[in-house]
Amino acid sequence: MSPSLRYEDRGASADKKEVHAAIQGEDPGLFPGAFCKVLPDSLTGSPDHCVLIHADGAGTKSVAAYLWWKETGDASVFRGLAQDSLVMNLDDLLCVGATGPFLLSNTIGRNAKLIPGQVIAEIVAGYRDCIDMLGQYGIEIRSGGGETADLGDAVRTLVVDSTLVTRMERKKVVTAEKLRPGLVLVGFSSSGKTVYESKENSGIGSNGLTSARHELLSSHYRERYPEAFAPEIAALAYTGPFRLKDMLPGSKMTVGEALLSPTRTYAPLLVKAFAEAGDSIAAVFHNTGGGLTKCLRFGKGLTYVKDNLLDAPPLFQTLRERSQLGLRELYRSLNMGQRLEIACETGVADHLISIAQKLGIAAKITGRIESGPPANHLVIKVEGQTLEYSLDSF
């Protein structure tokens, strides 16, 4: 079996070709090239404002949390899933310049035979914790409640999803129309410890967990917890060398702690960046689905060159060394420790880096934008290799 297909063979997709094909006929919104769909303000009818609504979730990270809970009895692990779910929405919306206030609704789908009320209570508490932390940095989120659905016939363990809604001035939308050759790319680390995090973050976020979980965790979990994987992928389920409590090589974290690090939000950084350098920011890329190839879908006729990436944190190094995932698949399915990028004027890059460093976020110029073919092109230089991706191959 080709290593380049392991992510898809497990029932996931980095490029989501079928999804993009299915929505081709949909209204692209006010700014078709923007990171998120932007809608007219039908709430008030204001021609100067727009509305954004975004839905996402913690993905299969919930399965890793389930395994940790079953092995340790520690239900507090589920609090992190609330942050994962919320941040996956919030940071996407921040990519178009939306800074709130935001309205939140969450949806929890569970197999009630396996997931008790105690787990639901921890998730709800996790939303409160995350909202309170963000409020300290001026990001206002109001919860409108949500829905918990018992879906034992459809959900093997647990699904944690959220929806965020906000309204903003149209003139403040980051449309990505300024993307052009000559801009630089500033990359921001997803690992380490920021001033607003209580402990070190592995950088994993909430994408690529299907690969990370099955490539790192051992057959112990396949044999003991058949509910923690789909039977259709049994041959590719839990093929790694580690247990959750094993130490992650090169780190002070266990493998389980690294897989379950709550998704870092870049909201404190981006709110300040927009306020102080907004006119010089052409685009913001939240490198979740699609990993470091996310940029390919934005702008036209561009070649993105990433030849000075941040060093991959221990979790990603371990995936590189101990899994069957090749470099090409790693960089298209995982953020590799660099979950945020800003395309900007050269003159503002140092200021953005300074803002990040004051918050405890490592950052540097990691690449640039050059002219390219009609279908956007990406060149990643890493480990002495050159990886090339093209939009027309996605």
Amino acid (one-letter) located at 5? L
Which DSSP symbol is given to 56?
E
Q: What's residue 1's pLDDT?
A: 39
Long-range contacts, 148-154 (Cβ 8 Å, 24+): 148/107, 148/108, 148/109, 148/110, 148/120, 149/107, 149/108, 149/109, 149/110, 150/110, 150/111, 150/112, 151/109, 151/110, 151/111, 152/111, 152/112, 152/113, 154/109
The burial class, CB within 10 Å (0-12 / 13-18 / 19+), for 54 is buried
pLDDT recorded at residue 2: 43
Q: What 3-state class would DSSP assign to 85?
A: helix
Contact 371, 301 (CB under 8 A): yes
**Per-residue pLDDT tens digits of the chain, which is 394 residues long:** 344 455 566 555 555 566 546 656 688 899 999 999 999 999 899 999 999 999 999 999 999 999 999 999 999 999 999 999 999 999 999 999 999 999 999 999 999 999 999 999 999 999 999 999 999 999 999 999 999 999 998 999 999 999 999 999 999 999 999 999 999 999 999 999 999 999 999 999 999 999 999 999 999 999 999 999 999 999 999 999 999 999 999 999 999 999 999 999 999 999 999 999 999 999 999 999 999 999 999 999 999 999 999 999 999 999 999 988 899 999 999 999 999 999 999 999 999 999 999 999 999 999 999 999 999 999 999 999 999 999 987 6
Crossing angle (nearest 10°) for helices 209-216 and 61-72: 40
One-letter-per-residue 3-state SS of 277-341:
HHHHEEEEEECCCCHHHHHHHCCCCEEEEECCCCCCCHHHHHHHHHCCCCHHHHHHHCCCCCCEE
Distance, CA of 111 to CA of 90 (rounded, Å): 27
**For residue 25, what pLDDT is reported?**
64
pTM over 0.85: yes
Q: Tell me if 78 sits within 8 A of 126, measured CB to CB.
A: yes
Residue 23: its pLDDT value, please? 59
Query: How many angstroms separate the CA atoms of 149 and 279, rounded?
Result: 44
Q: CA–CA separation, 270 vs 253, rounded Å?
A: 28
Give the pLDDT confidence score for residue 27 in this predicted structure. 86
